Chains A and B, each alone.
Chain A
Amino acid sequence: MQRIGVFVCHCGSNIAATVDVKKVVEMAAREPSVVHAEDYPYMCSEAGQAKIAQAVAEKGLTGIVVCSCSPRMHEATFRKAAERAGINPFMVEIANIREHCSWIHKNIEEGTEKAIILARAAIAKVNLNAPLFPGESRVTKRALVIGGGIAGIQSALDIADAGYEVDIVEKTPSIGGRMAQLDKTFPTLDCSACILTPKMVEAAAHEKIRIYTYSEVEKISGFVGDFTVDIRKKARSIDATKCTGCGVCQEKCHSKKSLSEFNRGLGTRSAIYTPFAQAIPNVPVIDREACIKFKTGKCGVCAKVCAAGAIDYEQKDEIITEKYGAIVVATGFDTIKLDKYDEYAYNQSKDVITSLELERVMNAAGPTKGHLERLSDGKHPEHIVFVQCVGSRCSDERGKPYCSKICCMYTAKHAMLIRDKYPDVKVTVFYIDVRTPGKNFDEFYRRAVEEYGVNYIKGQVGKVAPQPDGSLLVQASDLLDNKQIKLKADMVVLATAIEPDPSVRPLATMLTASIDTNNFLTEAHPKLRPVESPTAGIFLSGVCQGPKDIPETVAQAGAAAVKAIGLLAKDKLTTNPCTAKADELLCNGCSTCANVCPYGAISYETKLINDHGIREDRRVAVVNNALCQGCGACTVACPSGAMDLQGFSNRQIIAEVDAICR
């Protein structure tokens, strides 16, 4: 039999205004096992906590019920108070008579009645509570960063600067990501490469950072503090230790017609290539599907011209297995495919391009060497039309329901840069709303309108019709003028919605990290834990969590790094003791629990079981306490009632329900 103390909090008037706390004390005192009951204006205060300690000492309490606010608020507070008073912290239960009662009721009688019932349920549960003791698990002091764009680079640098080893895994041949493809950055218009490449070099040179490019994560097992990851290092066909990065192989390569991924398919590259001049590492890869040597067995010119003898046609994929304590996901984004938006004629005209393609066109290292020209005929355009929200804020299944967040600003940037460099070019922007919150953002947009004379029209474009003379007729509505308009343009630029890189889906499955309906990784709490996944040890950096611009990405990358560092700084992790546990006598090894477990925490062992004198080998479920998050899915699924959640056993919950229904 427990000796239970009940402590009812007034929470000033938050509870006491709608709950008769004296009455709650009086009724609680009548419950079996309750040996002490009192109320106090602020139980969470130091004086309130002292009352708990005092009652424990005087009455020899073994269990505690606090009738107060939500356990999310102060459960930890009261558990610590109990521990200081010499009681196992898991012998404390909270009856939430504020959020679940006083705040939602107006009638004091009804509120009081409900508070008494909630107290009774908590008392019934404590009667069946048993002391629980957290376990410990070790922490591998190395972090894995998946994705080598600005988010991954920043997270890796911050973790490495704190003194921990970091590995970056990047699937393309170079780190740099989307930011490397951009020409200028808003709102300061500084050159993207100029601010990114120093960071790339710093990451590459950092003694604590290893970079695996042209590599992908293939398998992840383990749990927070102790992940085991298989990384597939794809065959580069180059011996990186010999290659000097001279570039002769790329010049001499006979297969030069592959579309350049880096230039968004607007230019070509050789079969042996580095994506761009500042690539890190400056070691090319051979695209085996385009390489003549791999296709026909003939050629081999790159091996002949390579003075370092670095070409290795026999190279094979390599699997590297490594242990990590923390994983930062920084897989970034891509623009959506425009197949379902044929009204914009993207697939019908070369002069209709996406904004990311325009970045390459504007870039001095891009397909037009930075000259603004029509891709169909190389002519200088007279009028460029920008269309915003292509696929963003879309109410049907063609596009995305969310705002891609960066488009208003980069469109203003493009418009401004074009007007600055080519004052003869007319620029029109169609928008639904212009959304420019951010430091110096709205000022930037206003400059585009007021100083650079960019013509902003509120309205959506309905159709882009290529004309026989090669121009484009843009049909649109002008909502402020309430008119249908037709404009002749030479180029149309589509501010295409962004979506998480498709690699994030299989990765999320491997990580057992949750993703939302748009494939963005879900954060543990949208406001209070925005850079952590609900899965322990997984941190979110950059656009994989939601659309964001560069400064926001860098800020989040730093925050994710700090969270990872906080984890790596620990030698041991305390595990939550409220985990599932299988009763080996009842378990029949059916695998139902393992099938529903979202965390892969349940495995099976064949054990010698002594079932009332019958000794036999049985296959029984075993829960890994470090992996189990205590969600309780297995306890509900188990057909034989063998699975129980410690601290929330079936008996305890039924006792609570009984107490409520009494």
Chain B
Amino acid sequence: MKYSYYPGCTLKNKAKVLDAYARASALALGFELEEIRDWQCCGGVYPLGSDEIATKLSSVRALADARDHGRELVTLCSACHHVIKRVNDDMQNVADIRTRANNYMQLDTPYTGETNVLHFFEVLRDRVGFDALAKKVVNPLKGKKIGAYYGCLLLRPGEIMAFDDPENPRVMEDFIRALGAEPVVYPYRNECCGGYISLKEKEMATRMTDTIQESASGFGAEMLITACPLCRYNLNMTANGLPVVYFTELLAEALGVKEGIEA
């Protein structure tokens, strides 16, 4: 099974491990991530402006490319996933944006939101299945108490992201369980880490990550996992906080493919 794959800039830079472990794990699980040719930066937060067009085009290009290959589009980074999923929703439902984007793009076949966008977690849950994943685990992460950190971008707005229940999600806990570890449920797992505010008002962002970190360790977590490079960056600002790792690293470890990967 092949999926079109949109990595995003950070995964080629600061978050190389997120990308590398995902690809290796995918192969171990019997599917392949084929990187889209000539992909561009998703635009970060800019494409979310309703009057923005130019910054949405990167997503449209990636989506149309997946469509032309007849594949679903898989992402890893929460922010890229958020942007692409929302642009796709605009292309499906907002006539004005659809028309203007297609006018810019001049594609052979206009793009109208046909591509299905999946986060890597959704591939694990809905395509591979957590039961099947559990069976492929060779190094069960027994005894590890892991707190899932969802952040906000994967979950909200709930009706567009359609990822999980935004107020009480469970996909990451199910994932942790499939790897043989013990998920720790704590109430701040779906709260914002502060996002880009950490660049401007570091104190405020630290306050937010402190709450998350304290809550997770209070409930007995020994480490946190995330899918988002920015969340990881922010959560690491908390002094003496729990270690934060990408979920793909644990996946690769459990599947026994971690060794020898250049990261």
Binding site for B on A (CB under 8 A): 340-343, 345, 347-348, 463-468, 473
Contacts and interface: CB of A to CB of B under 8 A. Distances in A.
B218 interface: yes
B167 A341 contact: yes
Contact of A348 (B187, B191, B215, B218): B187
Interface string B222-244: 00000000000000000000000
Given A348-B185, A466-B187, A468-B219, 14 more contacts: A341-B167, A342-B165, A342-B167, A343-B167, A347-B168, A348-B187, A463-B191, A465-B187, A465-B188, A467-B215, A467-B218, A468-B215, A468-B220, A473-B187
A463 B168 contact: no
A463 B185 CA distance: 15
B136 to A, nearest CB: 31
Interface residues of B, number: 11
Nearest to B169: A342
Contacts of B220: 468
B167 A465 contact: no
- The listed residue with most A CB atoms (<10 A of its CB), out of B185, B187, B215, is B187
Contacts of A468: 215, 218-220
A342 B169 CA distance: 9
A348 B219 contact: no
Interface in B152-210: 165, 167-168, 185, 187-188, 191
Nearest to A341: B167
A348 B170 CA distance: 12
The prevalent SS among residues of B at the interface is loop
A347 B169 CA distance: 12
Contacts of A348: 168, 185, 187
Nearest to B167: A342
Contacts of A341: 167
- Of B165, B167, B185, chain A has the most CB atoms within 10 Å of the CB of B167
Nearest to A463: B187
Contacts of A463: 187, 191
A342 B188 contact: no
B193 to A, nearest CB: 15
Nearest to B191: A463
B148 to A, nearest CB: 15
Interface in B52-69: none
Contacts of A347: 168
B74 to A, nearest CB: 27
A341 B215 CA distance: 21
A341 to B, nearest CB: 7
A340 B165 CA distance: 8
Nearest to A462: B191
24 contacts: A340-B167, A341-B167, A342-B165, A342-B167, A342-B168, A343-B167, A345-B187, A347-B168, A348-B168, A348-B185, A348-B187, A463-B187, A463-B191, A464-B187, A465-B187, A465-B188, A465-B215, A466-B187, A467-B187, A467-B215, A467-B218, A468-B215, A468-B218, A473-B187
Contacts of B187: 345, 348, 463-467, 473
Nearest to B215: A465
A468 B220 CA distance: 9
A341 B166 CA distance: 10
Nearest to A473: B187
Contacts of B185: 348
Nearest to B211: A465
Nearest to A398: B158
Query: Across chains A and B, which 10 residue pairs bring their CB atoms closest together, nearest first?
Result: A342-B167, A342-B168, A465-B187, A468-B218, A343-B167, A468-B219, A466-B187, A342-B165, A347-B168, A465-B188
B145 to A, nearest CB: 13
Nearest to B185: A348
Contacts of B165: 342
A463 B167 CA distance: 9
B223 to A, nearest CB: 17
B168 to A, nearest CB: 3
A466 B220 CA distance: 14
Contacts of A340: 167
A465 B189 CA distance: 10
B13 to A, nearest CB: 34
A463 B190 CA distance: 11
A346 to B, nearest CB: 10
A373 to B, nearest CB: 23
A347 B185 CA distance: 13
Contacts of B219: 468
A345 B215 CA distance: 15
A467 B186 CA distance: 8
A298 to B, nearest CB: 36
Contacts of A473: 187
Nearest to A346: B168
Nearest to B168: A342
Contacts of B188: 465
A217 B203 CA distance: 64
Q: A340, A342, A343, A468 — which one has the most chain B CB atoms within 10 A of its CB?
A: A468
A467 B215 CA distance: 7
A465 B185 CA distance: 11
Contacts of A464: 187
A478 to B, nearest CB: 19
A501 B177 CA distance: 39
B215 to A, nearest CB: 7
A466 B218 CA distance: 11
Contacts of A343: 167
Nearest to B217: A468
Nearest to A339: B165
A508 B218 CA distance: 52
Interface string B95-136: 000000000000000000000000000000000000000000
Nearest to A349: B187
Contacts of A342: 165, 167-168
A341 B168 CA distance: 9
Nearest to A472: B187
B184 to A, nearest CB: 10
B190 to A, nearest CB: 9
Nearest to B188: A465
A347 B170 CA distance: 13
A486 to B, nearest CB: 10
A465 B186 CA distance: 8
B218 to A, nearest CB: 4
A465 B215 CA distance: 9
Nearest to B166: A342
B187 to A, nearest CB: 4
Contacts of A345: 187
B45 to A, nearest CB: 22
A184 B196 CA distance: 52
Nearest to A396: B159
Contacts of A466: 187
A465 B188 CA distance: 7
A282 B165 CA distance: 44
A122 B103 CA distance: 57
